[in-house]
């Protein structure tokens, strides 16, 4: 089933190079016909091609199947767009409880703040319910996060960007820009949509934001009550109703949001509530869809765009991250100049990946070290509301008071106030109580009977359920029907992930 919005037409298919299921977004003519937009998008996709993170859909490459066509190829992520869930929920009269709103925002804010920390020169710029995917396990994933700089090139006003692309930009004196303020503002729009239980209409943004804010309520166990003063103030700052108090970055919005939760213990994160709402509304969406055939092979040209096609002479060409997947391009590397450019691009991609995932180095003047270990391992670590990685981890922090949060799976986080002293290493070992030490993975293939290996060990044939996987990333390989598919799956303690892989025979 195809989905269409201002960005273009989305379909699912099979990548002819890898055999993986992918999502293909064929861009609208408005974007394809603007050279500056295409160039900026190609640059960002090339940078993110080697970056993988559980909170973001993996962007693979940009293809040009014809002179007047352009397609963004991404990993297929199971689940539903948040906009679809809100629309179906509103139509069916399924209430969105405040615990579900809080649970989703506690996933969204750290993910957006993470992007800001590692991409200071650009913002997501296209954040909205239409670009958020919620998996069947209730996990929020950000899609199409490379469009910010490209949208800037269109030089459109806020109303036009919203009407044509469902993109919300922060108010500004001149033309709107994709920056940290815009991402903080977009988080506010998503929060408002969640509280209203629906997506905003075309004529409601941006002029009716004040009245929508005044009408927002909390739905708690079926009872509607006004927003608390703390939450109302936070939402007003996120929507940037008053420029003097507006959040300047997603990180600032995240820290303030955690303060709101700390000020009122009624605001709790309930993973079961999120799961139940997603399961109920997701089932409604699936019931409305006709049963379709397994994904067909992608018919788009598998060759990524060359830099000339993008209108840029920069050596960080989109095809560089994918050179290992394109054997047909290998003979060209015999030319010394081409080989040098490829090596340079690969090294540059490695630097970008390092910048995304690196931990801070040794403490500098005025800093100390924090070492966090936990049982079970691979628990998520946040400091002052900012996600910093998983245990075991060593962090360099400014001296002074900090708040450490450690969470495994969907359990309630352990919150520990601590003080960092300059030049001193502080160690924290946290025993997380009532937390499962392993996670699970249900694997299915179409057709069934594929041989499954996980981290090099044979684990049976599909369909198969594995219940003893340690938290963290695992490499899953399925072989059947003459095809071989490799996937990296993130396992959380106490959670059973699902992997469905089509394996059409050759």
Position of tokens 């995932």? 357
Look at the domain 439-502 and name its fold.
Immunoglobulin-like (2.60.40)
d(CA 460, CA 127): 40
367-431 and 439-502, same CATH topology? yes
DSSP-derived secondary structure for 392-409? SEEEEEESEEEEEEEE-T
How much of the chain, in percent, has pLDDT values that exceed 70? 83
Does 199 or 394 have the greater pLDDT score?
A: 199
- Under CATH, which number does the domain 3-76+314-356 receive? 3.30.200.20
Q: What does the angle CA 49 – CA 476 – CA 14 come to, to the nearest 5 degrees?
A: 55
CA 320 to chain centre: 23
Contacts (Cβ under 8 Å, ≥6 apart) of 460: 451, 452
Highest mean pLDDT pick, 209-223, 297-311, 341-355, 392-406? 209-223
**Superfamily of segment(s) 80-288:** Transferase(Phosphotransferase) domain 1 (1.10.510.10)
Does residue 9 surpass a pLDDT of 90? yes
Confidence of residue 379 (pLDDT cuts 50, 70, 90): confident
What does the pLDDT look like over 97-148, one tens digit per residue?
999 999 999 889 988 988 887 776 779 999 999 999 999 988 899 999 999 9
In the numeric block, which tokens belong to residue 193? 């949509």
Looking at domain 367-431, its CATH class is mainly beta
Range scoring the smallest mean pLDDT among 208-217, 371-380, 388-397: 371-380
d(CA 493, CA 430): 15
Contacts (Cβ under 8 Å, ≥6 apart) of 488: 52, 473, 474, 475, 476
Confidence of residue 154 (pLDDT cuts 50, 70, 90): very high
Confidence of residue 302 (pLDDT cuts 50, 70, 90): very low
DSSP-derived secondary structure for 234-265? HHHHHHTSSTTT--SSHHHHHHHHHHHHHH-T
Q: Where are the domains of the chain?
A: 3-76+314-356, 80-288, 367-431, 439-502
| Residue 346, CB-side half-sphere exposure with 13 Å CA sphere | 9
pLDDT for 317: 32
Does residue 342 surpass a pLDDT of 60? no
Does 432 or 384 have the greater pLDDT score?
A: 384
Range scoring the smallest mean pLDDT among 120-134, 341-355, 388-402: 341-355
Residue range 262-275: mean pLDDT, rounded = 78
Does residue 505 surpass a pLDDT of 60? yes
Residue range 416-445: mean pLDDT, rounded = 80
d(CA 444, CA 150): 38
Range scoring the smallest mean pLDDT among 4-8, 331-335, 338-342, 482-486: 331-335
Does residue 313 surpass a pLDDT of 50? no
DSSP-derived secondary structure for 173-188? SSS---SHHHHHHHHH
d(CA 164, CA 5): 8
């Amino acid at each position: 089933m195809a989905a269409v919005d201002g960005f273009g037409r989305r379909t699912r298919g099979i990548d002819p190079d890898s055999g993986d299921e992918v999502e293909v977004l064929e861009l609208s003519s408005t974007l394809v016909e603007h050279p500056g937009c295409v160039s900026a998008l190609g640059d960002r996709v090339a940078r993110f091609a080697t970056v993988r993170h559980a909170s973001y859909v993996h962007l693979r490459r940009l293809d040009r199947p014809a002179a007047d066509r352009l397609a963004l190829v991404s990993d297929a992520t199971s689940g539903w767009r948040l906009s679809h869930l809100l629309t179906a929920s509103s139509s069916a009269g399924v209430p969105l409880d405040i615990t579900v709103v809080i649970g989703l925002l506690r996933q969204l804010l750290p993910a957006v703040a993470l992007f800001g920390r590692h991409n200071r020169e650009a913002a997501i710029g296209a954040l909205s319910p239409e670009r958020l995917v919620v998996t069947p396990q209730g996990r929020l994933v950000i899609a199409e996060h490379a469009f910010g700089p490209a949208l800037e090139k269109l030089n459109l006003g806020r109303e036009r960007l919203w009407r044509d692309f469902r993109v919300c930009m922060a108010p500004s004196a001149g033309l709107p820009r994709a920056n940290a303020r815009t991402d903080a503002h977009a988080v506010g729009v998503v929060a408002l949509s969640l509280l209203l239980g629906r997506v905003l209409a075309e004529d409601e943004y941006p002029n009716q934001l004040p009245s929508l804010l005044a009408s927002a309520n909390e739905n708690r166990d079926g009872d509607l009550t006004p927003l608390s003063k703390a939450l109302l103030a936070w939402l007003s700052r996120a929507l940037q109703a008053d420029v003097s108090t507006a959040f300047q970055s997603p990180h600032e919005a995240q820290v303030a949001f955690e303060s709101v939760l700390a000020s009122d213990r009624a605001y709790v994160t309930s993973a079961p509530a999120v799961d139940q709402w997603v399961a109920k509304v997701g089932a409604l969406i699936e019931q409305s869809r006709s049963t379709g055939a397994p994904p067909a092979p992608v018919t788009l040209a598998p060759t990524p765009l060359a830099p000339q096609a993008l209108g840029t002479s920069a050596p960080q060409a989109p095809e560089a991250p994918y050179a290992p997947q394109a054997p047909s391009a290998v003979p060209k590397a015999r030319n010394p100049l081409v080989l040098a450019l490829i090596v340079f691009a690969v090294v540059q991609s490695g630097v970008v990946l390092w910048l995304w995932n690196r931990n801070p180095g040794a403490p500098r003047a005025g800093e100390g070290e924090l070492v966090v270990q936990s049982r079970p391992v691979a628990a998520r670590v946040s400091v002052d509301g900012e996600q910093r990685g998983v245990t075991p981890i060593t962090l360099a922090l400014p001296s002074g008071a900090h708040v450490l949060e450690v969470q495994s799976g969907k359990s309630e986080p352990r919150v520990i106030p601590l003080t960092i002293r300059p030049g001193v290493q502080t160690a924290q070992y946290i025993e997380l109580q009532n937390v499962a030490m392993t996670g699970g993975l249900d694997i299915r293939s179409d057709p069934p009977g594929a041989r499954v290996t996980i981290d090099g060990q044979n684990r049976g044939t599909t369909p198969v359920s594995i219940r003893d996987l340690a938290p963290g990333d695992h490499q899953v390989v399925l072989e059947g029907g003459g095809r071989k598919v490799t996937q990296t799956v993130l396992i959380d303690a106490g959670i059973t992930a699902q992997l469905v892989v089509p394996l059409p025979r050759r």
